[in-house]
Amino acid sequence: MVDAVSPTIDLIAPGIDDDVCADPDAFLAGLRRPTIFHVRGRDRARARVVAGTLHGNEPSGLRAIHRVLVDRLEPAVDVWFFLGAVEAARAAPGFAHRMLPGRRDLNRCFRPPFDDLDGAIARDALAQLRAVQPELIVDLHNNTGHNPAYAVGPSTDGAYLGLTALFARTFVHSGMSLGTFSEAFADLAPSVAIECGRAGDPGADATAHAGLVRLLRLEDPEALVVTDPMAILVDPVRVMLRPGVTLAFAARPVPGVALTLVPDVDRHNFQTLAPGTALGWLEGPWPLVAMDEHGRERAHELFLDDGGTLRTRTTFVPMMATTDVAAATQDCLFYAASRQQ
Q: Which part of the chain contacts Zn ion (CB under 5 A), choosing from 63-71, 137-145, 170-178, 306-314?
A: 137-145
Binding footprint of Zn ion, residue count (CB under 5 A): 3
Which one among 34, 48, 50, 55 touches Zn ion, defined by CB under 5 A? 55
Between 60 and 260, name the residue whose CB sits nearer to Zn ion.
60
User: By CB under 5 A, what part of segment 243-302 binds Zn ion?
Assistant: none
Q: How far is the CB of 15 from Zn ion (least distance, A)?
A: 31
Distances 100 to 86, 95, 210 between C-alpha atoms, Å = 10, 11, 30
Query: Is position 97 an interface residue for Zn ion (rule: CB under 5 A)?
Result: no
Between 78 and 183, name the residue whose CB sits nearer to Zn ion.
183
Between 95 and 270, name the residue whose CB sits nearer to Zn ion.
95
Neighbours of 174 (CB within 10 A): 24
Q: How far is the CB of 53 from Zn ion (least distance, A)?
A: 9
Strands across the sheet containing 309-312: 247-249, 259-261, 278-282, 309-312, 303-306
Q: How far is the CB of 333 from Zn ion (least distance, A)?
A: 16
Q: Which part of the chain contacts Zn ion (CB under 5 A), choosing from 67-75, 136-144, 216-224, 260-268?
A: 136-144
Q: How far is the CB of 170 from Zn ion (least distance, A)?
A: 16
Between 48 and 55, name the residue whose CB sits nearer to Zn ion.
55
Measured at CB, which residue is nearest to Zn ion?
141
Q: Which part of the chain contacts Zn ion (CB under 5 A), choosing from 35-43, 47-55, 127-135, 210-218?
A: 47-55
3 state DSSP class of 182 = helix
- Please give the angle made by the CA atoms of 138, 144 and 147, to the nearest 5 degrees: 70
Between 55 and 173, name the residue whose CB sits nearer to Zn ion.
55
Specify whether the CB–CB gap between 65 and 97 falls below 8 A: no
Half-sphere exposure of 323 (CA within 13 A, CB side): 18
> Rounded to whole angstroms, how far apart are CA atoms 152 and 270?
13
Which one among 97, 141, 146, 173 touches Zn ion, defined by CB under 5 A? 141
Specify whether the CB–CB gap between 221 and 161 falls below 8 A: no
Binding interface with Zn ion (CB under 5 A): 55, 58, 141
